[in-house]
Amino acid sequence: MDITSKKLPIILIIALIGILLLQFVTNDKSTQLIDPETCELYVIDSKINTKTYLDEFNQKCLDFKNLNK
C-alpha cells in the first residue's frame, strides 16, 4: 500500500478508533470511595481485590465528623 493512497488514512482512522474502543471497554471501572472512619479516599483494585489509599481526604466527611464531636 502506497503512502499517498486514499485508503491509508481511512484504515488508520479505523485502527485508531478500534484501539480507543478497546481501551474504553477494558478500562478498570474503579471509583473513588471514602473510608468512613478516616475520611480518606481509596480505590479498590478489582484484579487483586485490595484497597489502595490515595493520601487524600474528603473535606465534607471531615467536617461532618467534627460536628459529631
Instruction: Please write the tens of the pLDDT for every residue from 8-67.
Output: 889 999 999 999 998 887 776 556 788 888 888 988 877 788 888 888 888 888 888 777
CB-side neighbour CA atoms (13 Å) of 31 = 2
- Please tell me the pTM assigned to this model: 0.47
Q: Got the DSSP string for 2-26?
A: -TT-SHHHHHHHHHHHHHHHHHHHH
